[in-house]
Amino acid sequence: MKHYLLIGNGAAGVSAAEVIRKRDAAATITILSDEPYPMYSRPGIAYVLNGQVPPEQIIARRPSFYQQHRLDLRFVRAVGLDATRQYVDLADGTRLPYDVLLLATGASATPPPFTNSQLDGIITFDKLDDARQLLTRCRRARAAVIVGGGITAMELAEGIAHQGVKTHFLQRGGRLWPRLLNQNESDIIERQIKHEGIHLHYHQEIETALDKRGKLVGVKLKSGQQIACDIVGVAIGVKPNLGLLKGAPVQIQQGVLVGPTMQSNIPTLFAAGDTAQVYDRWTQAHCLDVLWPSAIAEGRAAGHNMVDVAHGRPPSRQYEKGSPFNAALLFGVHMTAIGRISDNQDKEALPEAGYLSRGSSHVWTAPFAATVHSAWDRQGPHSIRVTMDRGRLIGALILGYQELADPLRYLVEHEVDLAAYQQNILTAGPTLPQLIAHIWKQVGQNMDREKHG
């Protein structure tokens, strides 16, 4: 009987476990988590913070799921790994030997970069317990300062403001989420932020947190300005949790380098989700995706191949990384990001380089070739941006207009030949949404024709 050990009870770990159980009915499957919950939706912690759902509602797998699938879920931290002799040491002193291991430990927030950052009240936002503790803090707090440009920072600002706490939102650059949004898209979100009464400050960074007898009382900015507050939320990026691999002969860049089977350079060690750096066919580079759907797809592929390896067979499933996809609600505005829409030649996006915010992909930082062109249109609170390369859509970003999200995702993912439309798309102006809808109809008709001979 084989023993599969999965470190991580998130989207990647649990997706792998489901596939392993389907393919190996007799196996022992152990899942480790250093959080005291069955699997929950990690993006869902934002909805807990803003009061839209109670914590129980983001639980994605009930205890009965683990029983039915005979998954031995243990709430204990892995503290050591010997990838050569194939065992893991746990914080409770247990040593667990394994046949095949999955590292699916996720990612954690980058620590605050300013001085005096150890004060109580300076928080990051990674876990359900972080949302719970923050809700308690918000009951007593009068003002909060949030720093960061990405999705977690926006969700922190929105959630804390919803709890009735006066909220200041600091941006290092001159627009929101510069790695993803252009100036016009940032303006649309900015309008909503102001509408919610949040104080938005551009070109501001914290120099130090201020305390009075050890208690957080505010922040001093690099500009010299001071803001009084009892909470400082820091969401300036995340890094994969790779501490267990210290000293192990595992190939790592920003994440664990895995091949198309999710296998690392050590055949019995796989990685998936936020920890894995996966080959991307569009940019022809190994990329990190800090994205929920990527974690699920990678976990499934890893699970499939772990069974092959455990039974002495070569891994049989080639995983092809899809184009990055994120659908999120930013201050009430629906946003969908598909494929490649940003370019690291964009000067405003550069200050963020070097780390990834949650809901992001490394793919977004790859430089564009000279053959890439974009078209963009905005109508009130809606906007649409598409990026084309040699007759194919390679990316799209939509605010509002959600009926176009699935068509655009299909056109990008399937690299549909749109050469005949490229010129029209790039010059469509305000008719761009209608043109995309029209193209989608034509593509659908062609697909029907092909299906029915």
Ligand X SMILES: Cc1cc2nc3c(=O)[nH]c(=O)nc-3n(C[C@H](O)[C@H](O)[C@H](O)COP(=O)(O)OP(=O)(O)OC[C@H]3O[C@@H](n4cnc5c(N)ncnc54)[C@H](O)[C@@H]3O)c2cc1C
Which positions touch ligand X (CB under 6 A)?
7-13, 32-35, 42-43, 45-46, 77-78, 104-106, 125-126, 151-152, 155, 241, 244, 273-274, 290-293, 295, 326, 328, 358-359
Q: Which DSSP state fits 380? A: T
Q: Which residue, 291 or 310, is less far from ligand X as judged by CB? A: 291
> Cα(425)–Cα(373) distance, rounded to whole angstroms?
10
Q: Which residues make Cβ contacts (< 8 Å) with residue 327, sequence separation at least 6?
A: 334, 335, 336, 337, 405
Q: Which amino acid is at 5?
A: L
Q: Which DSSP state fits 368? A: P
Q: Which residues make Cβ contacts (< 8 Å) with residue 25, sequence separation at least 6?
A: none
**Buried/exposed 278-294: b ≥16 CB within 10 Å, e otherwise:** bbbebbeebbbbbbbeb
| Other Cβ atoms within 10 Å of 332 Cβ, number | 12
Long-range contacts of 252-259 (CB under 8 A, 24+ apart): 253/277, 253/286, 254/288, 254/362, 255/288, 256/103, 257/286
DSSP-based three-state secondary structure for 181: coil
Q: Which residue, 42 or 385, is less far from ligand X as judged by CB? A: 42
Distance set, CA 340 to CA 121, 129, 283, 410 (Å): 37, 33, 9, 14
Count the alpha carbons within 13 Å of 267 in the hemisphere toward its beta carbon. 10
Q: Which residue, 13 or 433, is less far from ligand X as judged by CB? A: 13
DSSP-based three-state secondary structure for 305: helix
The pair of three-digit structure tokens given for residue 422, joined into one six-digit string? 């490229």
Least spacing, CB of residue 7 vs ligand X, in Å: 5
| Other Cβ atoms within 10 Å of 209 Cβ, number | 22
Q: 247, 239, 248, 301: which is closest to 271 by C-alpha?
A: 301
Least spacing, CB of residue 446 vs ligand X, in Å: 31
Least spacing, CB of residue 352 vs ligand X, in Å: 16
| HEC sequence for 333-353 | EEEEEEECCCCCCCHHHHHHC
Distance set, CA 392 to CA 106, 340, 418, 422 (Å): 33, 12, 5, 8
